[in-house]
């Protein structure tokens, strides 16, 4: 099973992808991923809480990606795609609310970006693999310039913390 993100953002300005192999069965890995709490992921969790204040204690990533400022774009057994729009480079946490997949697809507010987050599990010989991908597409030239400046600062650190949640899920699923 593979998630088709090209239908949401075919040519992203920024794309991140993380993958972790596991000996756990796909359903176990997916259930563990859905139950991962934001506050259990160290630097990544702290960053999420800083960028989205007011998150309740114990909120899971599944709950986070299914509630504002995110919107679920599509989901199924073993996969989920969520979206976010706004000015991700501001300290004001400027994330307008979009109601559903159609509103996300039509989003074109000048000076903003569209972001998709996809998470899914694939079966493989001897277990499964957990994948996560994010894509960011600016709406216009001004947003592209701001995104480029932001990514110059954030991009080098993304690899250090971006896969942290996936590694924790695999460890937890395999210990069960």
Does the pLDDT of residue 104 top 80, yes or no? yes
Q: Report cis status (omega within 30 of 0) of the bond before 69.
A: yes
Q: Is residue 109 part of a domain?
A: yes
Q: What is the mean pLDDT of residues 138-160?
A: 92
48 part of a folded domain: yes
In this prediction, residue 60 carries a pLDDT of 97
User: Among 1-10, 87-96, 133-142, which stretch is predicted with the lowest mean pLDDT?
Assistant: 1-10
d(CA 157, CA 176): 31
- Can you read off the two tokens belonging to residue 57? 């204690």
Q: How far apart are the first and last CA of the chain?
A: 24
- Tokens standing for 23? 């000996």
Per residue in 36-84, pLDDT (tens digit) is 999 999 888 988 998 898 899 999 999 999 999 999 999 999 999 999 9
Q: Is residue 5 part of a domain?
A: no
pLDDT digits (tens, 9 = 90+) for 86-103: 999 998 888 999 999 999
What CATH number is attached to the domain comprising 25? Answer: 3.30.530
Domain count, the chain: 1
The pTM assigned to this predicted structure is 0.93
* 1 has pLDDT over 60: no
How many residues are there in the chain?
A: 176
Query: What is the spatial distance between Cα 16 and Cα 136, in angstroms, rounded to a whole number?
Result: 9
Domain membership of residue 6 (yes or no) is: no
Give the domain extent around 132: 14-175
**Which of 41-45, 164-168, 169-173 is most confident?**
169-173
The 3-state DSSP class for residue 102 equals helix
Q: Which two tokens stand for residue 138?
A: 């600016």
Q: How many whole angstroms separate alpha carbon 48 and alpha carbon 172? A: 21
- Percent share of the chain, pLDDT over 70: 99
Average pLDDT over residues 105-124: 97
132 belongs to a structural domain? yes
Average pLDDT of the chain, as a whole number: 93
Residue 116 near residue 83 (C-beta atoms within 8 A): yes
Task: Residue 133: name the closest of 116, 145, 148 by CA.
Answer: 116
Confidence of residue 2 (pLDDT cuts 50, 70, 90): low
> In the prediction, which pLDDT does 81 show?
97
Asked if residue 4 is part of any domain, the answer here is no
**Is residue 41 situated within a structural domain?**
yes
**Mean pLDDT score, 18-40:** 96
The answer to whether residue 1 is domain-embedded is: no
């Amino acid at each position: 099973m593979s998630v088709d993100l090209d239908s949401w953002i075919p040519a992203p300005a920024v794309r991140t992808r993380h993958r972790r192999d596991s000996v756990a069965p796909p359903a176990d890995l997916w259930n563990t991923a859905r139950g991962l709490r934001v506050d259990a992921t160290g630097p990544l969790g702290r960053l999420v809480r800083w960028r989205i204040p007011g998150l309740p204690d114990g909120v899971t990533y599944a709950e986070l990606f299914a509630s504002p400022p995110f919107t679920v774009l599509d989901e199924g057994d073993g996969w989920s795609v969520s979206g976010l729009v706004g000015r991700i480079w501001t300290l004001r946490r400027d994330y307008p609310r979009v109601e559903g997949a159609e509103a996300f697809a039509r989003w074109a507010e000048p000076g903003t970006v569209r972001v998709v987050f996809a998470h899914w599990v694939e079966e493989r010989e001897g277990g499964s693999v957990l994948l996560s991908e994010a894509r960011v597409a600016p709406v216009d030239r001004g947003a592209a310039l701001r995104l480029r400046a932001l990514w110059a600062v954030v991009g080098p650190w993304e690899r250090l913390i971006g896969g942290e949640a996936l590694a924790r899920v695999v460890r937890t699923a395999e210990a069960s």
